[in-house]
Structure 1
Amino acid sequence: MARLLSRSIRNMLVCATAVGALLSQVSAHAADGSVWQDIQKAGVLKCGAAVAAPYVMRDARSSEYSGYFVDLCRDFGERVLKVKVEFVDTNWDNLVAGLQSGKWDLAMALNQTPERAMAVSFSVPATDYQVSLLVNKDNPKFASAGTQVSDYDKPEVTFAVMSGTAQDKAISGVIKHGKIMRLPGMDEARLAVLSKRADVLVDASDTNHLFAIANADWAKEVLPKPALAKQGVAFGVRRDASAADLQVLNIYLTQRREAGEIDALVDKASAQVNASATTASK
């Protein structure tokens, strides 16, 4: 019995040693597979940059990048990872593919969609994309209106929207009483509201926000509740990024968003876009 027991104990010790070695290998492999550690070893964080104001902008003369996702990517690299940050010029067709092939480490300003999630991982949203309404705050038709679309859906109200867009599809699905003015471009839709031929401008919240800042004396932006076509706008990360890697980026974004710092960056970028547009028109 003692001999059998000793043999059992020896077998258990052998198994425990083997398991311990295996776990050590797995731990070492996981450490080696850290995206942020690899970037720190390389000394540079590469951010894929497809231009879309106010998220990502590029000066034609200096080739310098700006925009609130650019600010976030630069700050995350320099302050959290403590590495240099490099912006790699690309376009929207190649932004995801370049991330998959390792041409850059982060893809900036990606709308979270199930299709993209099949190819890349996402951080938590830095901001949200959704369809918003822009109205004249002095319009008596909206004296008691709140944030529900039904507050604006009246027979005497006209909604201006660019024909065939996601905004057109979203607003057409909820308007029961108002009139929808479908126009060939956003300039025509904005002009319709400026000239008071229409009462409500329907557009993506980021571009409506720019228009509201440029016309702060009369414009009021409304984010409907419940939201219309809402998606998170986030950083894209390689699929091999670990949960621990994502947690680092997610904590960073969550803290900056909850502190109101991302909203301030959005306003800064929006003001820059409007200033550039004013300069170009002179």
Structure 2
Amino acid sequence: MKLNRRAALMAAAATALLPKQLLAQGKTEWAGIKAAGKVRAGAVEAKPWFTQDFASGEWKGLVPDILEAVFAPEGISVDYIDTQWGTAVAGLQSGRFDLMGAYNSTPERAEAIDFTKAIGGLRLTILTLKDNAASFANWDAIDSPDVKLAVIDGSGAARILQPKLTKTTWVATPSSDTMFLELESGRVDAIVTSDAQVADYIASRDRGTMVIPEPVERQPTNIGLRKSEDHELLDWLDTRIAALEADGTMDKIWAKYTSVEGSTKS
């Protein structure tokens, strides 16, 4: 009896967190979004994913470009809600916003929220300030005790590459700023992170060489959304993402934020 009461209370609490207008109208989430002509998206001040013009309040970046391409043909506008990566799951579950772009699917997160198919993939990329960029052309050459790389501790680059490049000398840093400091001080030969972060560094500081070693290592990223029994919004998003991939729109958006003219690519 206690278990049944507890389950009922949990269900009631979950229902209370759903957007009130959807419950009142008895509509699915996707039907409510279409009727309102508006979808709410979580946003984090983090280049190149999101950046906000504080004068106008407008959000720009890779994710807003993708969401515009996804929703604009349906006449649906996107309202951005300021959040943080670490609290985005709670924001989705509470109904504070409807979706979160550039949110990587992990087993832990997938227990709490749903994910679309990948909207693209971050390529793990080398950034060096030295003249030896060609020596980073492939991961086998990098797997040497003579190569010293900085990486953000716990990042996708660290999780994917450290178990594979066991001979490389690794310097784990707590943040992007300290990783770039290791590079700029000459304490490491290069850093390894996403192509988007490398491209932003080179564009903003006008120095460095970008190398994408072979074979290309990718870390897919997705759109996260509340779990739903009908999957109507999820299915529609997957269909739109596939269409944007097929017509080349998605590649063009990613290239805008991940390519650097004159960069070295293997």
- TM value normalised by structure 1: 0.68
Cα RMSD of the aligned pairs, angstroms, is 3.2
Stretches of structure 1 lacking an aligned partner (at least 5 in a row):
1-31, 272-282
Rounded to whole Å, the distance in 2 between the matches of 1:268 and 1:225 is 22
**In the alignment, what sits opposite 1:6?**
none
2:252 is matched with which residue?
264
Structure 2 gap segments, 5+ residues each: 1-25, 260-266
- SS for the counterpart of 2:140 is helix
Listed one character per residue, the Cα deviations across residues 12-56 of structure 1 (whole Å, up to 9, x for unaligned) are xxxxxxxxxxxxxxxxxxxx7543222112232222223322112
Q: 1:196 to 1:71 in 2, by over 3 A?
A: same
Change (3 A) 1:33 1:121: farther
Q: 1:66 aligns with which of 60, 70, 87?
A: 60
1:255 CA displacement:
2.9
C-alpha spacing 1:188/1:84, structure 2 compared with 1 (3 Å): closer
Cα 1:192–1:47 shift into 2, 3 Å? closer
Distance 1:119 1:169 in 2: 22
Structure 2 length-normalised TM: 0.71
Structure 1 Cα separation of the partners of residues 202 and 246 of structure 2: 23
Change (3 A) 1:231 1:165: closer
Aligned to 1:115, what secondary structure does the other structure show? helix
* C-alpha distance in 2 between matches for 1:261 and 1:204: 21
Q: Secondary structure at the match of 1:94?
A: helix
Asked whether 1:222 is paired with 2:212, we answer yes
CA shift in 2, pair 1:212/1:127, >3 Å: farther
Q: 2:39 aligns with which of 45, 67, 72?
A: 45
1:153-164 counterparts in 2 under 5 A? 153-162=143-152
Structure 2 matches for 1:1-282, cutoff 5 A? 34-80=28-74, 82-129=75-122, 131-135=124-128, 138-139=131-132, 142=135, 146-147=137-138, 149-162=139-152, 167-168=157-158, 170-182=160-172, 185-194=175-184, 196-214=186-204, 218-222=208-212, 225=215, 227=217, 231-240=219-228, 242-269=230-257
For the residue of structure 2 that corresponds to 1:103, the secondary structure is: coil
Would the aligned equivalents of 2:125 and 2:195 in 1 still touch at CA under 8 Å?
Answer: yes
Max Rg structure? 1
1:178/1:43 Cα in 2 relative to 1: closer, same or farther (>3 Å)? Answer: closer
CA contact (8 A) 1:160 1:181 kept: yes
